[in-house]
Amino acid sequence: MPAVAHTRDELRRERGHLTGDVAVVMTMGALHEGHATLIRRAREVAEHVIVTIFLNPLQFGPKEDLSRYPRTFDADMEICRDAGVDLVFAPTPDVIYQDGDPGVRISAGPLGTVLEGHSRPGHFDGVLTVVAKLFHLTGAHSAYFGQKDAQQLLLIRRMVRDLDFPVRVVSVPTVREPDGLAMSSRNMYLTDSDREVALALSRALKAGADAATEGPSAIRRAARAVLVREPLALVDYLVLVHPTTLEDVPEWYRGEALLAVAGRVGTTRLIDNQPVNVGPGGGAIEVFSDIDATAVAT
Ligand code: AMP
């Protein structure tokens, strides 16, 4: 089993045993194949991998699912062991926020107020604050994040660049179930019939990507056509936006864009997205090609 640290002292001690290049994969637990893929990617490049498991109260709204979020620590440890993790840092909120809610926080700025940030006010400030703290506490040289949470990934890249964090940010394509559903810890909430309904999200993204050669309005139209056929998927937003500004791309736009969707199925809020290349020869792509140029190398 990987070493486990729950406290700052334990983390300091165990971190001291890791020499050379260290990568971190930050999670909220309830690990699945998506997380395992991030860990394996990190493992291929770095000498050591730290996984953090922390349900960050700061990024949950008062009406959100913090109290029912799945907690599966023993199974998480087995996934970490199988994926070759060296150290698991699993603190409680009082370890991370020693003096209670932090008065000083990272502000995600304007990009943190649209899409997910519009539906979840303050969410990205909470995310960036804990990510910044976990960068410091783990002393990682690189960090692996999933394209599944595209806006989070963009904002972490922006924070690293805007605030000069000495960390290399690496994005990993979304891992899906065989039927297309994006893997998520929150899929555990779905009933069998919810799960059928939830497929409309990934199907819509695929339909949009398949229309990519025809331009933005064709992409949006194709994706929307799938969603309107599934009224039980309560769509929050469906957008085709620029990968770094998150602004709707105009009809003349050609190049990389983010097709993103969010909605509620039963009691569960789900998000998914598909990076696409818009224009001749276009279609679905796994991650954005030029985005690593915006990451700060150590
Ligand atoms: P979470 O535990 O949901 O906070 O996710 C932790 C990390 O795993 C984040 O970087 C997520 O983007 C990433 N992740 C979650 N689900 C997937 C997935 N299906 N494919 C790829 N990465 C994922």
**Distance, CA of 27 to CA of 146 (rounded, Å):** 10
Verify that 194 and 140 share a domain, yes or no: no
pLDDT in the model for residue 295: 42
- Within a 10 A sphere around the Cβ of 74, how many other Cβ atoms? 7
Annotated binding site for (R)-pantoate: 59, 152
Check if the beta carbon of residue 187 is closer than 8 Å to that of residue 181. yes
Catalytic residues: 35
Q: Which residue blocks in 64-191 are alpha helix, DSSP H? A: 73-83, 93-96, 116-119, 123-138, 150-162
**What token pair was written down for 191?**
């009933």
Positions of E strands within the chain:
3-5, 22-27, 48-53, 87-89, 142-146, 168-172, 233-241, 255-265, 268-278, 283-284
For the chain, list residues with pLDDT below 70.
290-298
Mutational test site, ligand 1, from 56, 71, 144, 145, max ligand atoms within 8 Å of CB? 145
Judge if 253 and 277 occupy the same domain. yes
Provide the whole-model pTM.
Answer: 0.96
Quote the pLDDT of residue 102: 96
Are both 48 and 130 inside the same structural domain? yes
The answer to whether residues 24 and 153 belong to one domain is yes
Verify that 86 and 164 share a domain, yes or no: yes
Count CB-CB contacts under 10 A for residue 267. 11
Q: Which residues form the pocket of ligand 1, taking CB atoms under 6 Å from any ligand atom?
A: 27-28, 34-35, 38, 145-146, 148-149, 172, 174-175, 182-185
What residues make up the domain containing 239? 187-282
252 Cα to the center of ligand 1, angstroms: 33
Whether 33 and 165 share a structural domain: yes
Q: Which amino acid is at 280?
A: P
In this structure, the answer to whether residues 126 and 202 fall within a common structural domain is no
Residue 246 class from Cβ within 10 Å (0-12 exposed, 13-18 middle, 19+ buried)?
A: buried
pLDDT of residue 186: 97
Site to substitute for ligand 1 among 25, 33, 38, 287, most atoms within 8 A of C-beta: 38
Query: Is 12 within the bounds of a domain?
Result: yes
Binding residues: 28-35, 59, 146-149, 152, 175, 183-186
Q: Give the CATH number of the domain where residue 113 resides.
A: 3.40.50.620
Helices (H) and strands (E) in the chain, counts: 9, 10
